[in-house]
Amino acid sequence: MSGNAAARREARVRRMMRTFLNVGFRILLTVNATMVVMPRSVAEESTSPSAGDVEARIQRVEAGLQPAVAIAGEPAMKLADRMNDLHVPGVSIALIHDGAIQWARGFGVAAVGGPPVTPDTLFQAGSISKPVSAVAALALVQAGKLDLDTDVNLFLKSWKVPANSYTAKSNVTLRELLNHSAGTTVHGFAGYQAGAVVPSLAEVLNGAPPANNDPIVVDHRPGARFRYSGGGYTIMQQMLLDVTGRDFPSLLDDTVLRPFGMTHSSFLQPLPVGETSAATPYLADGAPVPGGPHIYPELAAAGLWTTPTDLAHFALALLDAWRGRANPVLSQSMASQMLTPGLGDYGLGPVVSGSPPNRRFSHGGVDEGFVSFMVAYETGDGAVVMTNGERGGDLAGEIMRSIAAEYHWPNGQAVLRKRTTVDPKLLDRFVGNYQLSPRFFIQISREGDHLFSQATGQGKYEIFPESDRDFFLTEVDVVITFETDGQADATRLILHQDGTDHPARRVR
């Protein structure tokens, strides 16, 4: 897969996860489950639930999966069914409640025909590597070895951010690298198949063979706007190497992973020969990723192997620091900077959303054949979902909505809409192409008694009638209103999303 294709896929997953927060062969799976009820991670006085109560909640989560928009009267989906539908062999979940990991459980298999997923099964975390790596950078800032607001070229030794007209006017800073406002290029990375020649970090930064990415450069004024950049985190990785003189995996092990209790995590790429606890990644059609897990030399951006339990420990440690409790790495002041949203709602690592008392931080992650998501609320609730299937983003969103409903989160539940019946003879008046912008169209098509919508560069989705001219999707919270006069064909549609109306005129 090309770097651009990987970037597009990760962007789709990130959009899907934002929706959650704001709202070849078929694998026939028997869901295997392994569960651990975890001890409390922070000193809070509360009544621990019984094992029976926890088990009942897990079963309701398994049976309560929902799309972004649920249709009133239709039953929720079951986890095993959705794993089959989406060709996702394995899922691992850790649930945070009342400031502790309440339970961790594996579902399905680590590899088709292989062992079941357990709470100790390793998954590639993709871009969830970024907030974990950011903590190491912030620890060095706290120690006086780095500065958030100084030109990064003063700390870089073996490589420098290439000078151009943009950097001449404004220096790139570590703060901007961490919150994706540095103007750096390269969204994400495709990784390298097992057996392929893996580039050095310098070759990745320069976009030189055998690297499969473009050079990482600055192409607009640093600090001017948000643009997600894995390339920026790769620059940060080089900074940490130059400042400490250490290899990245051991630095992160000493600085973040062990202090945060992440005992099953590693930034080694690839994993040591003989490691048997890692999940095998799978493509969208259910075929295994050729050669197995990709290798990512871009460790800070995408190189973490971990478990949901370890990421839950990471989230709880950040919550402790945020609340001013003892933290082995970050002060409350530094944690506050990390978890203050900037451009694009990004803090110094994670996405930060909401307002007190329900602020939350989150991040999604995609590596080839792996998709994961992590969210934690300042109230002490949250969850981590990790999957070994390319369509795991859809599944993770559905699981998170089930958890949000079961644990009464302040948001994240499915939106409920009522479906009505429209005379099929009237549907043809809506069929056509609608133009939102010079290069963005929505095509409305009919198949029997059903209407479908397909936007430029996106999949084809059924739209359901809420009235004789208002239709909704279930994948995202979007309503499409067709403007028509009686029986005449629609002249335009209005797409309603996130409180904004987007008109599109009919062009054919």
**Is 332 in the same domain as 206?**
yes
The pLDDT value recorded for residue 7 is 52
Q: How many CA atoms lie within 13 A of 20 on its CB side?
A: 31
Q: Is 499 contained in some domain?
A: yes
Question: Are residues 333 and 429 both part of a single domain?
Answer: no
Residue 257 lies in a domain: yes
Asked, as a colleague might, if the bond just before 270 is cis with ω within 30 of 0, I would say yes
CA atoms within 13 A on the CB side of 377: 22
- 331 and 460 inside one domain: no
Phi and psi torsions of 426, nearest 5°: -90, -10
Q: Are residues 332 and 428 in the same domain?
A: no
Q: Is 79 among the domain residues?
A: no
Please, which residues have CB within 8 angstroms of residue 96's CB and are 6 or more apart in sequence? 102, 312, 315, 316, 376, 380, 381, 382, 383, 384
Residue 15: pLDDT band with limits 50, 70, 90:
very low
Domain boundary among 282, 314, 344: 344
- pLDDT value at residue 425: 87
Number of domains in the chain: 2
Between 128 and 7, whose confidence is greater? 128
Distance CA 158, CA 425 (A): 68
pLDDT of res. 10: 53
Using an 8 Å Cβ cutoff, are 152 and 261 in contact? no
Tell me phi and psi for residue 423, to 5 degrees.
-55, 120
- What's the confidence (pLDDT) of residue 485? 75
Residue span of the structural domain in which 314 resides = 121-344
Tell whether 85 is covered by a domain: no
The pLDDT of residue 25: 26
Same domain, 337 and 195: yes
For the segment 345-360, the average pLDDT, to the nearest whole number, is 96
The predicted-structure confidence for 125-153, as pLDDT tens digits, reads as follows 999 999 999 999 999 999 999 999 999 99
312 shares a domain with 165: yes
Confidence of residue 38 (pLDDT cuts 50, 70, 90): very low
Task: Please report, for the domain that includes residue 326, its CATH number.
Answer: 3.40.710.10
Q: Which helix (H) or strand (E) holds 92?
A: strand 90-97
Average pLDDT over residues 411-428: 94
Claim to verify: residue 176 and residue 283 sit in the same structural domain: yes
Q: Can you give the pLDDT at residue 488? A: 84
- Same-domain pairing of 174 and 271: yes
276 and 186 share one domain = yes
Q: Is the model's pLDDT at 13 over the cut of 80? A: no
pLDDT digits (tens, 9 = 90+) for 211-259: 999 999 999 999 999 999 999 999 999 999 999 999 999 999 999 999 9
Who's near 276: CB < 8 A, 6+ residues apart? none
Q: In the structure, what pLDDT confidence band is assigned to residue 4 with cuts at 50, 70 and 90?
A: low
- CATH number at 487 reads 2.40.128.50
N-terminal to C-terminal alpha carbon distance within the chain: 35
242, containing H or E segment: helix 230-244
User: Is residue 277 a part of any domain in this protein?
Assistant: yes
**Of 344, 377, 398, the domain-final residue:** 344
Does residue 491 lie within any of the structural domains?
yes
d(CA 91, CA 84): 12
Q: Over range 395-420, report the average pLDDT.
A: 97
Same domain as 306, residue 441 = no
- Predicted TM-score (pTM) of the model is 0.90
Pull the structure tokens for residue 223. Answer: 């600090």
Confidence at 479, pLDDT banded by 50, 70, 90: very high
The answer to whether residue 316 sits within a structural domain is yes
Same domain assignment for residues 299 and 158: yes
Q: Last residue of some domain: 344, 378, 397? A: 344
Residue 367 lies in a domain: no
pLDDT at 29: 35
> Mapping DSSP to helix (H, G, I), strand (E, B) and coil, where does residue 79 land?
helix
Looking at the structure, tell me whether residues 324 and 440 fall in a common domain. Answer: no
